[in-house]
């Protein structure tokens, strides 16, 4: 069994040196961040990054995000930045924010899938920050999950998926945010959100005065179209159970109950992912209701969303129905993950 280092309370210096040696040797390590757990490798090493794609079963045209610990590291691996790019870095890093920049040759082509740009993130989680800072290695670290499956926000959810595929697991406890970083690219000095996250459209607009949303936030990019950010192509965040979303509107509850009634009459075992406020309105037995939290506390919903999606398969149902919410502020990011978990099957 792959060793687990417990750093929930403190970073063990001897174990830290072991982790750094492993990364320098081109191996994989599961590390915590404030967003989700990452599958970490040396971002300057083609062979090491290739191992990430193999371990995840990830398509070779889905680029990796590179994690750094300070602005000097950004300078070392990317070209000169624009004033807007500089403003975004100063405003949102360190934190759950990724910026697409023009890369230098120090970052390997495998990590960027041969592209000329790279997603740069400076995590605020002290564990991965210390690993990067002490090692001096830019770390490629996509979410620690088999591609297509829900991301991992605690070690228990992902251990079996990567046992034997990595050198070490670092247990930093439950991730504080629970959804991946916001990814932004600047075009003509306008920030464009390629993947929504905890840093919202409203947050960026307050700082920059302007922001746009990518047209691809709620659609699957075609196979032959090149992307600069993960989370834009293919099936993402999905349980093995087939999922369907009921889009947000005034008749949402009636639609949900109608489908549940029809499924029951057809012998289709169905579970439901919904919100605390609507629990008593949904006509389904309690053990098939997965409560995602309250609409009044979307930060808590985001923290647990992937664990909740993983609960679906444990119920051995034929179908899961997911309740949608308004696509505003953090709700936009949550809906982005849920819609992709349903493979864009929204009623």
Give the model confidence (pLDDT) of 85-141 as tens digits: 999 999 999 999 999 999 999 999 999 999 999 999 999 999 999 999 999 999 999
C-alpha distance from residue 328 to each of 58, 166, 205, 229 (Å) = 30, 38, 14, 22
Return d(Cα 212, Cα 278) in angstroms, integer: 32
Return d(Cα 93, Cα 110) in angstroms, integer: 25
Alpha helices in the chain (DSSP H): 13-24, 46-56, 71-77, 83-92, 109-112, 126-135, 155-162, 201-208, 252-265, 298-314, 330-341
Q: Which of 31, 30, 34 is nearest to 198 (CA)?
A: 34
Per-residue pLDDT of the chain (347 residues; tens, 9 = 90+): 999 999 999 999 999 999 999 999 999 999 999 999 999 999 999 999 999 999 999 998 899 999 999 999 999 999 999 999 999 999 999 999 999 999 999 999 999 999 999 999 999 999 999 999 999 999 999 999 999 899 999 999 999 999 999 999 999 999 999 999 999 999 999 999 999 999 999 999 999 999 999 998 887 666 666 777 776 655 678 999 999 999 998 899 999 999 999 999 999 999 999 999 999 999 999 999 999 999 999 999 999 999 999 999 999 999 999 999 999 999 999 999 999 999 889 98
Return d(Cα 233, Cα 35) in angstroms, integer: 20
Alpha-carbon Rg for the chain, nearest whole angstrom, is 20
Domains of the chain: 4-213 (3.90.870.10), 242-341 (3.40.50.11030)
Return d(Cα 283, Cα 272) in angstroms, integer: 10
Mean pLDDT of the chain: 95
Cis peptide before 94 (omega within 30 of 0): yes
The pTM (predicted TM-score) of the whole model is 0.94
The single-letter DSSP state of residue 196 is -
Residue 196 dihedral angles phi and psi, to the nearest 5°: -75, 155
Q: Which of 11, 37, 35 is nearest to 176 (CA)?
A: 35
């Amino acid at each position: 069994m792959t060793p687990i280092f417990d750093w929930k309370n403190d970073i063990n210096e001897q174990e830290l040196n072991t982790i750094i040696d492993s990364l320098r040797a081109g191996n994989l390590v599961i590390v915590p961040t404030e967003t989700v757990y990452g599958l970490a490798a040396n971002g300057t090493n083609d062979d090491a990054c290739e191992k990430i794609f193999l371990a995840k079963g990830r398509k070779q045209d889905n680029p990796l995000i590179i994690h750094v610990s300070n602005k000097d590291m950004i300078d070392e691996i990317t070209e000169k930045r624009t004033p807007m790019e500089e403003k975004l870095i100063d405003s949102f890093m360190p934190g759950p924010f990724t910026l697409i920049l023009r890369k230098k040759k120090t970052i390997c082509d495998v990590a960027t899938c041969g592209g000329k740009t790279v997603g740069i993130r400076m995590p605020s989680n002290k564990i991965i920050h210390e690993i990067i800072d002490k090692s001096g290695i830019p770390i490629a670290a996509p979410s620690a999950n088999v591609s297509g499956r829900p991301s991992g926000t605690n070690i228990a959810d992902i251990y079996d998926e990567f046992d034997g595929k990595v050198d070490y697991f670092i247990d930093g406890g439950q991730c504080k945010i629970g959804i991946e970083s916001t990814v932004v690219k600047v075009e003509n000095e306008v920030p464009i959100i390629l993947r929504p996250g905890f840093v919202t459209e409203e947050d960026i607009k307050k700082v920059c005065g302007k922001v746009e949303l990518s047209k691809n936030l709620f659609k699957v990019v075609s196979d032959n179209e090149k992307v600069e950010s993960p989370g834009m192509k293919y099936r993402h965040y999905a349980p093995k159970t087939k999922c369907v979303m009921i889009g947000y509107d005034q008749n949402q509850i009636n639609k949900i109950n109608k489908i549940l009634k029809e499924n029951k009459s057809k012998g289709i075992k169905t579970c439901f992912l919904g919100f605390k406020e609507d629990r008593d309105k949904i006509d389904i037995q309690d053990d098939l209701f997965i409560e995602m939290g309250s609409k009044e506390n979307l930060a808590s919903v985001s923290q647990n969303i992937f664990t909740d999606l993983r609960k679906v398969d444990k119920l051995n149902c034929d179908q899961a129905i997911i309740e949608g919410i308004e696509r505003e502020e953090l709700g936009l990011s949550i809906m982005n993950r849920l819609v992709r978990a349903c493979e864009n099957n929204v009623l």
